[in-house]
Amino acid sequence: MAEQFVVVNTDAATSWRTKFFSNMLQEILHTALVSEKVLSVDRSNTKLIYNPYASASTVEITTLTGTYTPAAYTTTDDTLTVGTEFKVGEHVYDFERVMNNYELMTERLKRQAIDIAVAIDKYNLNLLLEDGTATYTTPAGGFTVGSNIPVIVSNCASKVMGYSGVEKGLFLVIENTDVPGFMQAQASSGFSYADSALNNGFMTSYMGVDIYVVRSGTFVDATFVGTGTTSITNLGHRVFGVKGVGTYAVPQDVKYEEISVSGKTGKEIRPYVLFGFKLWTQNAGLIVDITLA
């Protein structure tokens, strides 16, 4: 007799006596995480991270006089503040824990941790995009038109080339709906590159730029909360830039608690994480806000 399988559901009566092939029927699908690939991460137990910067110097060019004019300069404080919490709370009743054929609390914690990580990633990418000061509008059709891809990538690269720090690497974050244009552009490129794309599938870089794909709906119009409220207007936008010019802080990473609740059997489980983000002011021009046309 063929084995029977059901979708995991804490309230489903059919989950009690079902034979499972493995701990989970399938790995939970979730958006690819990008933040740690394009930002620096700070996991120290700090509330504030300071990064003061000074004004540029003025260089005098004169004949051979041996004299100069002293100039004043200013220093500006730039601060990352940890002021946001990401958290999930759920209750697992004791009869659910005992009678399920898989470790229910472990699986719920795994799902909660994934959801928190995806939420942080979405926050980071939208804040990075919102704070970038370089801008670019694509040709009509945006990334969905294969012939647009080299034009967009080269124009965005020109926005940041010539600054120190570019050697850290360039990145572009697109949504999954943009992929067809990229694949078409790769397949129609020069012989060696096209052969590689056709034989090996979607490449992770293009023209020296690392390409990251997130799910549709990552870039949004929304209000984000934290040390204040930030209005995000990123629907129909994508982000390009230099790696490592922004920082996000997650003190001690994800924390986890189990607590008993009066009137309920089992345990309430709640993972949470503290969070802060900063695109450092002097680096804002190294992040390009791409508007799709």
| 246 phi, psi to nearest 5 deg | -125, 165
Residue 64 lies in a domain: no
Helix (H, G, I), strand (E, B) or coil at 148: helix
The strand ranges marked E within 77-130 are 79-81, 84-87, 90-92
- Model confidence pTM above 0.85: no
Which residue, among 93, 97, 94, 125, has the nearest Cα to 218 in the 3D structure?
A: 125
Residue 24 lies in a domain: no
pLDDT score at 203:
54
41-77: b or e for each residue (b if 16 or more CB lie within 10 Å)? ebeeeeeebeeeeeeeeeeeeeeeeeeeeeeeeeeee
Residue 135 lies in a domain: yes
Distances in Å between the Cα of 262 and the Cα atoms of 59, 140, 209, 265 are 71, 59, 55, 8
Residue 59 lies in a domain: no
Which residue, among 255, 243, 250, 245, has the nearest Cα to 276 in the 3D structure?
A: 250
Residue 36 lies in a domain: no
Number of domains in the chain: 1
- Longest CA–CA span in the chain (Å) reads 98
Domain extent, residue 104, equals: 46-54+76-291
Residue 25 lies in a domain: no
Q: Give, for all 293 residues of the chain, the pLDDT tens digit.
A: 444 444 444 554 544 444 444 444 445 566 778 998 999 999 888 899 998 888 888 888 989 998 988 888 888 889 999 989 998 888 877 776 666 655 666 777 778 888 888 899 999 999 999 999 999 999 999 999 989 999 999 999 999 999 887 888 999 999 999 988 888 887 776 544 445 544 444 557 888 899 999 999 999 999 988 767 889 999 999 999 999 999 999 887 778 787 887 888 877 878 888 999 999 999 999 999 999 99
pLDDT score at 61:
92
Residue 61 lies in a domain: no
Residue 175 lies in a domain: yes
